Amino acid sequence: MKIAIQLAMPAELRALPGMSGAEPDEIVSGVPVFRIEPDLLAVCGGVGKVNAAMATELLCLRFGTELILNAGVAGCLTDLPAGTLVAVSEFVQHDVDTTAVGDPIGLVSTVNQTVFPTWEPERCRDALRELGFPCETGRAATGDWFAVSGRRAEWIRDTFHPVLTEMEGGAIAQVCLRSGVRFVSVKSVSDRLFAPEQLREYFDFDQALQNLGRAVLPLARKLREEN
């Protein structure tokens, strides 16, 4: 099975063992592509839904990827400690709103669904636990907004009931759905939105990156071996 690890930020890429200072094998439409092993790629697609969707489409169409593992840091709307790994069970997109024409909040047109499940999240959680990494499962809410505490964060929490909020996963899930490609996602909690020290946690999320970097490659290899 050909697997690709899709990340958003260079810091997330550098957290992977051996990737600090690595040069891309090629750059396609501005997206750096790294060949870690013959059937294991990594891309740093950029922050936000459009960048994420573009990188995913490249992986699906140009590289024939059969499973995409989205990895990154994420804000937490509950009380999970920084550095906690979460195998995301499903994504919603909190910034999609066509309720004015009678649609449910978060409905994504064309595919006409509000919830985008990942592939066998419990299997990913259990695989990480077998590898020695404590891991939870839960929903994540995606949108083009850097989440901070306040009314908007409270609305996202109370409307969609996610554990995490981030800026790419929902778009990746949508492209994978339309492309018929398996999609899994593992996030590491960088900050807790409703904690008084949220901004300090975000700008000091080394533990989140370390935990993510240690877990992602072993998980990708395990998924490849089992499929």
Report the catalytic residues: 12, 191
Can you list the alpha helix ranges (DSSP code H) found in the chain? 10-14, 49-61, 121-130, 151-160, 169-179, 198-202, 206-226
Amino acid at 84: T
Q: Which of 190, 221, 5, 160 is nearest to 83 (CA)?
A: 190
CA torsion, points 44, 131, 73, 161, in degrees to nearest 10? 130
Helix 121-130, helix 206-226: angle, nearest 10:
110
> Using CA atoms, how far apart are residues 69 and 28, in angstroms rounded to an integer?
19
Can you list the alpha helix ranges (DSSP code H) found in 68-202? 121-130, 151-160, 169-179, 198-202
Contact criterion met (CB below 8 Å) for 65 and 42? no
> Using CA atoms, how far apart are residues 222 and 216, in angstroms rounded to an integer?
10
Contact criterion met (CB below 8 Å) for 184 and 224? no
5 φ/ψ angles, rounded to the nearest 5 degrees? -95, 120
